[in-house]
Structure 1
Amino acid sequence: MKAGLFRHGRLTRTSTMPLGDVAAIGAFVASDRPEVVVVGSVASPDPAFANALHAWAPVVEVNGASEGPIRSAYRTRDTLGVDRWANAVAASLLFPGRPTLAISLGTCLTYDLVSADGEHLGGIISPGFRMRARAMGEFTARLMVVDPPDTPALLGTDTEACLASGTHHGLLAELAHTISGFRHKQPGLAVVLTGGDALRFARALESGIFAHPFLTLLGLHALSLPARLASGTSSGPGR
């Protein structure tokens, strides 16, 4: 679980903590009493955790169907993960007037494309880095689960090295192919990577690929503004 503190529209502090850890959240906000707590989660809601958040400040929940500063052509907004929607929004705000591709390298690998005029066009979902490594170990009789180094050799000379190469270079090839395809369709495309494996692959890809570890937090903050204005918990985008 990631948390971020925004002050006058700027992200000033962040923390990573166990999911639903009320004590950790309390320690994080103790010295900076927030005006509002913004929650965006793809997991099932925990009533006890939600009640604890209400003790500190009014709570605004955002999801994949929340109103945002860009439009969306996604046909099933009720199934759109709030993380994907937040990443699409944040990438578009970072590069106004340009088409953007937000790529999150987490449990799953997600791509979300936004046009230059600010419309979320859709995306792609595929297995993430560690999911690929685990699948080969768990769905075969004799292969093992590996944790590949940052830059494994392309040619493996033993089974573990072959698995490491396939996991790393297979995902790298997918990224390069997908980015190239979207750049062909959207000239001037800005590409932003986020998630736990973003830096690993941003370094391996060509120049012009940006990595932003807090892209989702930026997007959640932007998505919360309409609800905060409606509820009176914000006077404008600078809060």
Structure 2
Amino acid sequence: MRFKALNIFTDKLPKVNAKGEIPSYGQTTETAIRAGVIHGMEYEMSGYITHLQQNYPELLVFLTGGDDFSFDSNLKSIIFADRFLVLKGLNRILNYNDTL
């Protein structure tokens, strides 16, 4: 969504996707966009998790969804990443309801 927004809501930025080199900072427009979006999401999540852990020291974080989890290992928190967790949970509910 962030990549798409940069392309749609600007006049001349190219459409970029998450696949490809993700440097610390970009040397081209494409790598700069990719680095900014990916690292921005990492820092956003890391900051939010850190903020919540100050109030909830026993906090557990679960990452779910179908997108790539290449950045989950960069988060300095105890997390559980499973791209299919929600689908597994829904399947378990479905199977449970079948036994009623």
Give the TM-score band, short-chain normalised. Answer: 0.7 to 0.9
Aligned-residue identity in percent: 34
Runs of 5+ unmatched residues, structure 1 = 1-130
- Greater RCO between the two (CA within 8 Å, min separation 6)? 1
2:74 is matched with which residue?
A: 204
Task: Give me the whole-angstrom Cα distance separating, in 1, the residues matched to 2:48 and 2:80.
Answer: 16
Task: Give me the whole-angstrom Cα distance separating, in 1, the residues matched to 2:13 and 2:99.
Answer: 54
Task: Give me the whole-angstrom Cα distance separating, in 1, the residues matched to 2:21 and 2:55.
Answer: 30
Q: Is the 8 A contact 1:138 1:144 kept in 2?
A: no
The structural deviation recorded for 1:151 is 5.9
1:160 aligns with 2:25: no
Quick one: which of 144, 149, 165 aligns to 2:14? 144
1:188 is matched with which residue?
A: 58
Task: Give me the whole-angstrom Cα distance separating, in 2, the residues matched to 1:197 and 1:214.
Answer: 10
Task: Give me the whole-angstrom Cα distance separating, in 2, the residues matched to 1:196 and 1:150.
Answer: 18
Q: Is the 8 A contact 1:154 1:165 kept in 2?
A: yes
The structural deviation recorded for 1:207 is 5.2
TM-score scaled by length of structure 1: 0.38
Normalized per residue, which structure has more strand?
1
Larger radius of gyration: 1
Task: Give me the whole-angstrom Cα distance separating, in 2, the residues matched to 1:215 and 1:198.
Answer: 14
Q: Deviations over 1:47-76 (max 9, x none)?
A: xxxxxxxxxxxxxxxxxxxxxxxxxxxxxx
Normalized per residue, which structure has more helix?
2
Runs of 5+ unmatched residues, structure 2 = none
1:234 aligns with 2:80: no
